[in-house]
DNA sequence: ACTTGGCACTCAGGAACACAGAGTGCTAGA
DNA sequence: TCTAGCACTCTGTGTTCCTGAGTGCCAAGT
């Protein structure tokens, strides 16, 4: 049904449309790409492609525009991810290497990705779930308040002030800190709940209320924060782009953590580093936009996801190349620290 | 030159234009506000106001629109800050009270302000400079790396990984931590540099390289971060608004910390809690936008600034009321914790 | 001296219209 | 199966005309 030439025509249509942002006609197509056939032949092929739903025309007498289905075929079979240039690679490397802490890594990553792709970049903070405890710190703030600080092996620091039900001496706090660290150091975050389950019983009865309070805050911190934090950059790139939906909707979605999470999607467990591409209506949460995303993290230790969001009409090969490259570099950086 | 009635006309023009977004003519003006004079009289007044540069007409035969100078006069002399409704106050209070830590306070504040004003809200993190040290923590990560965590009395936590020049035993780290805390606890951040100046000399020679490294990172943390962090929310509200400059420029400015800082401006030292209003071209960094900002923090302890950014055509009384109210509430919350 | 009604004037924005140009589908021939 | 030619269908653009809102000014009224 779709011979090689028809596929070539589709590819040419996608490429031309992406670069010019105008419906592409048979004549221009036959000229710009040397297809070695006449415009009339191209027209026939286009008619076939339209029948199959890969392209469409905005109005009766205009050129053709790819449909979501057309982009899908293009991404799956007609294009290959375009690697970055050497200069770009070096720029990424030096830019990311300058990061001083986890916050900085994430901030730099998201800006970098936005700049490279000229789209909106989205980066999820490394999830706590797969991390391990590096250190738990309890800092007395006043008689009845302590600051709970949780440091993970990915360099992430979570902090929460805890209001104690009664006055607790500093020495007891210090003891509890020692117990907690002995118990949790190096353990996966997901195993924390069971590890602390019997902790109150192993301590003097008088400490139990305070301990219970602290532990409940600790557990809250684990579950509530474990994958909520997510940032974006490059909103300015939306100004030029034209979406089928309103710009307002896109901006609103960007400020909703929950929506952003869904947009990035979930890392498939079997091929964690694969690129996910959602095109237009394939994307149930924000129609009319495309999302290119991937997991990051080194090897078996997948940390979270990152990607970019843009109009359906985007340069998929380049975008995919940038997303993949950035994911690799940031994985390296995080593995090293 | 400008009698009371002319001022009333100007006020009416500003109010009408803000609510309708259309140039306002003499007839509609005389009707809607009961000025008790005829349209012809209003026209004369408008001509005078135009001569003075307070209003202008987009084209020869259209109504009048306030100029930046007109808005300025309106804000300074013709309007008074509009207080929030009781319901709004209660909503603010409960929403902010639910915050669990400093990050959360700032995030909630900026969202709240964006929602109340339907503009872009900008909040600067409490500056370190005026804060005091609550605790310094050194956590050994490996043989030659420690995590430096600085906790301030405002609840802010700064963390940096430090690469040591040589292997240092945990016991020495613990000792250094004790020394640091003894030396710095409760001190203002601005006095930290002098307080640690002679620290290396008071410690064993063998520790000095490590101590020097740690201190340099500590000082870096103080100066580099002391007022850089700033967040915004409500970018979606820009979608409807029409700026004289491009939407792209505004979005770009929002992502540039430095520009945002300049937009918020500096707290005047004599009246720290005063509202600053910059209208259109008065604003050198982003023409065509207006900024309503104020400092926050309790009394003599001014922490940082917050405000909103919007089109020149904004409802200044309401916006000013919201900014002032939110600043007060967030000051309260921070003072309590 | 200020206010008001009247009146001529200006100009943006919309409707109606024609037209050029790009692009198509179809058919007949190579 | 491809190609050339041709009639057809649109969109977008430019032109013209017209209406209506709004103004500025002048002369009369208070």
* A238–B contact, CB cutoff 8 A: yes
Distance B60 CA to D16 C1' (A): 22
Contact A316/A75 with Cβ under 8 angstroms?
yes
Yes or no, beta carbons of B248 and A240 under 8 Å apart: yes
Strand partners, B140: B146
Could you say which residues 56-75 of protein chain A have a Cβ atom less than 7 A away from any atom in strand C?
57, 61-64
For residues A94 and A100, give the distance between their C-alpha atoms in angstroms, rounded to a whole number. Answer: 13
The beta-carbon neighbor of A137 closest among B139, B161, B246 is B139
Query: Whole-structure pTM over 0.95, yes or no?
Result: no
Q: A1 pLDDT exceeds 90?
A: no
Strand partners, B163: B145
Q: What is the pLDDT of residue A57?
A: 93
Q: How many CB pairs under 8 A join A and B?
A: 84
Strand partners, A141: none
Q: Cα dist. B136→A100, A159, B183, B217 in Å? A: 18, 14, 10, 13
Give the sign of the dihedral formed by CA B241, CA B245, CA B249, CA B250: negative
Residue A225: which pLDDT band, with cuts at 50, 70 and 90?
Answer: low
Q: A312 pLDDT exceeds 90?
A: yes
Q: What is the pLDDT of residue A138?
A: 86
Q: What is the pLDDT of residue B251?
A: 95
Q: What is the pLDDT of residue A53?
A: 95
Residue B207: which pLDDT band, with cuts at 50, 70 and 90?
Answer: confident
Q: What is the pLDDT of residue B290?
A: 96
Q: Can you tell me the mean pLDDT for B91-104?
A: 89
Residues of B in contact with A135 (CB under 8 A): 139, 147
Residue B227: which pLDDT band, with cuts at 50, 70 and 90?
Answer: low
Yes or no, beta carbons of B247 and A254 under 8 Å apart: no
Contact A245/A287 with Cβ under 8 angstroms?
yes
- pLDDT tens, B241-279? 878 888 999 999 999 989 999 999 887 777 777 899 999
Residues of A in contact with B101 (CB under 8 A): 159-161
For residues B122 and B192, give the distance between their C-alpha atoms in angstroms, rounded to a whole number. Answer: 29
> Which residues have a Cβ under 8 Å from the Cβ of B146 and sit 6 or more positions away?
B138, B139, B140, B161, B162, B164, B168, B173, B214
- From the list B58, B59, B52, the residue with the least C-alpha distance to B10 is B52
- pLDDT tens, A51-97? 999 999 998 888 999 999 999 999 999 999 999 999 999 999 999 99
Which region among A180-184, A230-234, B300-304 has the lowest average model confidence (pLDDT)?
A: B300-304
Yes or no, beta carbons of A147 and B134 under 8 Å apart: yes
Could you say which residues 60-79 of protein chain B have a Cβ atom less than 7 A away from any atom in strand D?
61-64
Residue A224: which pLDDT band, with cuts at 50, 70 and 90?
Answer: low
- pLDDT tens, B305-336? 999 999 999 999 999 999 999 999 999 988 87
Q: What is the pLDDT of residue A17?
A: 96
3-class secondary-structure state, position A208: helix
- pLDDT tens, A254-308? 999 899 999 998 877 777 778 999 999 998 889 889 999 999 987 667 778 999 9
Q: Using a pLDDT cut of 70, give the percent of chain B over it.
A: 96
Q: What is the pLDDT of residue A279?
A: 96
For residues A125 and A128, give the distance between their C-alpha atoms in angstroms, rounded to a whole number. Answer: 9
For residues A69 and A57, give the distance between their C-alpha atoms in angstroms, rounded to a whole number. Answer: 14
Q: Cα dist. A317→A18, A123, B122 in Å? A: 11, 20, 36
Q: What is the pLDDT of residue A287?
A: 87
Strand (E) or helix (H) holding A66: strand A65-66
Direct distance between the N- and C-terminal alpha carbons of chain A, in angstroms, rounded to an integer: 53
**Cα–Cα–Cα angle for A75, A125, A300, rounded to 5 degrees:** 70
Q: What is the pLDDT of residue B80?
A: 95
- Angle between helix axes B170-184 and B208-225 (nearest 10 degrees) is 50
DSSP E strands in B67-163: the ranges are 120-124, 133-142, 145-152, 157-163
Q: Which ranges of chain A would DSSP assign to H, the alpha helix?
A: 4-20, 26-32, 39-52, 68-73, 86-97, 102-117, 170-184, 192-196, 208-225, 247-254, 257-264, 316-336
Question: Which positions of chain C lie under 7 Å from any protein Cβ?
Answer: 3-6, 9-12, 21-27
The beta-carbon neighbor of A236 closest among B111, B236, B255 is B255
Q: What is the pLDDT of residue A191?
A: 83
* A112–B contact, CB cutoff 8 A: no
Neighbours of A134 (CB within 10 A): 22
Main-chain dihedrals φ then ψ at residue B209, nearest 5 degrees: -60, -45
Contact A3/A10 with Cβ under 8 angstroms?
no
Best to test chain B binding among A159, A218, A241, A249 (most B CBs inside 10 Å): A159
Give the sign of the dihedral formed by CA A286, CA A292, CA A297, CA A302: positive
> Which residues have a Cβ under 8 Å from the Cβ of B216 and sit 6 or more positions away?
none
Contact B243/B289 with Cβ under 8 angstroms?
yes
Q: B337 pLDDT exceeds 70?
A: no
Q: B226 pLDDT exceeds 60?
A: no
- HSE on the CB side for B99, CA within 13 Å? 25
- How close does chain A come to B252, measured CA to CA in Å? 5
Contact B229/B124 with Cβ under 8 angstroms?
yes
Q: Can you tell me the mean pLDDT for A118-142?
A: 84
For residues B48 and B42, give the distance between their C-alpha atoms in angstroms, rounded to a whole number. Answer: 10
Could you say which residues 223-252 of protein chain B have a Cβ atom less than 7 A away from any atom in strand D?
none
- How close does chain B come to A175, measured CA to CA in Å? 15
């Amino acid at each position: 049904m779709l011979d090689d030439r028809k596929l070539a025509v589709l590819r040419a249509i996608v490429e031309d449309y992406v670069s010019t942002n105008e419906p592409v006609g048979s004549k221009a197509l036959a000229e710009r790409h040397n297809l070695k056939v006449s415009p009339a032949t191209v027209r026939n092929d286009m008619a076939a492609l339209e029948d199959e739903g890969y392209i469409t025309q905005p109005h009766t007498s205009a050129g053709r525009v790819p449909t979501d289905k057309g982009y899908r075929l293009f991404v799956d079979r007609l294009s290959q991810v375009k690697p970055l240039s050497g200069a770009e690679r070096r720029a990424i490397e030096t830019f990311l290497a300058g990061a001083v802490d986890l916050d900085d890594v994430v901030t730099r990553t998201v800006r970098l990705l936005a700049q490279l792709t000229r789209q909106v970049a989205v980066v999820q903070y490394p999830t706590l779930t797969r991390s391990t405890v590096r250190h738990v710190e309890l800092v007395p703030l006043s008689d009845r308040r302590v600051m709970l600080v949780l440091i993970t092996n990915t360099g992430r620091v979570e902090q929460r002030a805890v209001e104690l039900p009664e006055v607790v001496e500093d020495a007891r706090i210090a003891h509890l800190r020692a117990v907690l660290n002995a118990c949790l150091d190096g353990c996966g975050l997901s195993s924390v709940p069971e590890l602390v389950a019997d902790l109150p019983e192993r301590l003097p009865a008088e400490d139990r209320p305070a301990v219970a309070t602290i532990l409940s805050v600790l557990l809250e911190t684990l579950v509530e924060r474990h994958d909520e934090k997510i940032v974006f950059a490059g909103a300015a790139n939306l100004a030029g782009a034209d979406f089928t939906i309103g710009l307002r909707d896109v901006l609103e979605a960007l400020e909703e953590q929950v929506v952003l999470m869904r947009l990035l999607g979930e890392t498939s467990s079997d091929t964690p580093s694969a690129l996910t591409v959602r095109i237009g209506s394939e994307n149930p949460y924000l129609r009319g936009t495309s999302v290119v995303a991937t997991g990051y993290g080194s090897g078996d230790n997948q940390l979270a996801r990152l990607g970019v969001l843009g109009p359906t009409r985007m340069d998929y090969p380049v975008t995919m190349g940038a997303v993949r490259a950035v994911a690799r570099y940031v994985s390296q950086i995080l593995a090293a620290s």
